[in-house]
Each structure stands twice: as structure tokens, then as C-alpha cells.
Amino acid sequence: MKKDLLFAAWPYMALSLLCVGIAVRYLLERRQVESVRNEMAEAWEIFRGGRLWRAGLLLLLAAHCFAMFFPGAVLWWNRSAGRLYLLEAGGIVTGIVVLGCWCALLWRHLGRSGKPAITELSDAAFLALLCLSLLSGLLTAALYRWASTWSAITLAPYLASLFRVKPEAGLVMQMPFMVRLHVFSAFAMLAVLPLTRLGAFLVFAADWALSLAGGVLSSAARALEAWMRKHSPAGWLWPEED
């Protein structure tokens, strides 16, 4: 497989695995609501970590999403050297803190057992991919200066090309290995997610969304039926005889 094909096809493969995996889990567990709730509680116990972990992870995720969807705003911010230094230093410090919290999280995970081997292995694989993503991101920021600027010029258009279903893999292939590893591991986490305890949250969300949609459709059907009965021409086409 060519490397450019990897970054053209792998994102869609990862998203397909995510969707299919959640759909299969939903079909298998939709009548076991209590079991899903128990898995959610276990996932929260394992992955929640401390406040610093949650805040740092959310900050990194929000920063990445903002940079990918609003690259022009990032380039405007970086026009000032002071703001550029602040953004780059803040990203590195946040990444180091989150990586340290990840070590504590892994230690807690290794001390747990009791679930099927596939679940334990999937959780461990997800944590390993998360570590790989954090490490590659930190090394990218440390080895290649002004990552926030050049990623807005290269990686943001690459993500946009994926949404257009016209992937421009060359935008990633021209990047250093650490950048490519960062992108690959991010999509790999999505592929593994349905097999982990965290997948229970998505199963619960899917069940809630389908239940809500079913309720809306049922109400709409009843309203339509009432309207049709009220405005049905049958009453004057075939009047009832006294």
C-alpha cells in the first residue's frame, strides 16, 4: 500500500470501523440498559482521572478542533510574535501535563481486572494510542517550530479535503514522520473506540437519539392521522345513511 493511499483511505476506514462497531454494540446491548450503564460507570472510573487530566485533555482537544476548523483565526493570532510564543509554549506545557496524568491513569488501569480479555486489551490499546498521539504531538512541537502556523496551512486543508470526500493525502505526506504518526494515531483511536468501555457512552447516546427520533416520528404520525381523519373526503363522498 502506498503511503499516500494510507492517508487517503485510512481516515474513512477508521470512521467506518467506529460506526459499524457502535452499531453492532447497540444491536447486542440495546435490551441490556443496566449493563450499558454499568460499563459507563466503569469507563468513568478508569478514564476520568483528576481534574487536571480532564481540563488538559479538553483544552488540547478544543485547541486542535479550533485550529482545524478556523485556521484563519490561528494565522491572525500568530501574526504577533508574543502571541505566537504564548500559544506554542502553552501547547507544550499542556501536553506535558496531560502526558504525566496519562501515566497515572495507566497505572490505575493496570491495577484493574475482571472484564473479558478483549475489553481489557481494547482499553489498553486505546490508552497506548492516546500516549502515541500525545508523544508525537509533543515531539512535533519541540522539533519543528511554529507548529500552530504550518499546521493551519497544511493539516487544516487536509481535514477539509476529507469532509469533501476528496482527500489530499499529499498535504500530510510532505510532513515529517512525527506529524504523520500524530494524524494516524488520532484516527486509530476512533477505530478502537467501539471495543473499549468508552464505547458504552456512544451506545447510550445512540439509544437515546433513536428513542427521541422514534418518539418524534410517532407523534408526527399520530398528528398526521388525526389531520387526515378530520379532512378526509370519505364523509361527504359516502355519507352514512340514517
8-20 residue pLDDT tens: 899 999 999 999 9
Q: What is the pLDDT of residue 203?
A: 87
What is the SS3 string spanning the chain? Answer: CCHHHHHHHHHHHHHHHHHHHHHHHHHHHCCCHHHHHHHHHHHHHHHCCCHHHHHHHHHHHHHHHHHHHCHHHHHHHCCCHHHHHHHHHHHHHHHHHHHHHHHHHHHHHHCCCCCCHHHHHHHHHHHHHHHHHHHHHHHHHHHCCCHHHHHHHHHHHHHHHHHCCCCCCHHHHCCCHHHHHHHHHHHHHHHHHHHCCCHHHHHHHHHHHHHHHHHHHHHHHHHHHHHHHHCCCHHHHCCCCC
Side chain identity at residue 238, one-letter code = W
**Whether 98 contacts 56, CB under 8 Å:** yes
User: Which tens digit of pLDDT belongs to each residue from 176-192?
Assistant: 899 999 999 999 999 99
User: Which tens digit of pLDDT belongs to each residue from 22-57?
Assistant: 988 888 887 777 788 888 888 888 888 888 888 989
Determine if residue 88 is left, alpha or beta; phi over 0 gives left, psi from -120 to 50 gives alpha, anything else beta: alpha
Measured between alpha carbons, how far is 29 from 34 in angstroms, rounded to an integer? Answer: 9
The domains found in the chain, sorted by start residue, are 3-231 (1.20.950.20)
Is residue 240 predicted with pLDDT exceeding 60? no
Q: pTM for the whole thing?
A: 0.80
Measured between alpha carbons, how far is 200 from 212 in angstroms, rounded to an integer? Answer: 18
Question: Which of the two residues, 225 and 96, has the higher pLDDT score?
Answer: 96
Q: What is the pLDDT of residue 233?
A: 53
User: Which tens digit of pLDDT belongs to each residue from 128-154?
Assistant: 999 999 999 999 988 888 888 888 888
The answer to which of 46-50, 122-126, 192-196 has the lowest mean pLDDT is 46-50
Q: What is the pLDDT of residue 204?
A: 86
Q: Which whole-number Å values give the CA distances from 13 to 27, 68, 81, 231, in the listed order?
A: 21, 20, 40, 50
Cell of 66: 479550533
User: Quick one: average pLDDT of 78-90?
Assistant: 89
**Whether 74 contacts 152, CB under 8 Å:** yes
Q: What is the pLDDT of residue 186?
A: 92
Q: What is the pLDDT of residue 238?
A: 47
Measured between alpha carbons, how far is 56 from 211 in angstroms, rounded to an integer? Answer: 34
**Whether 36 contacts 200, CB under 8 Å:** yes
**Whether 109 contacts 130, CB under 8 Å:** no
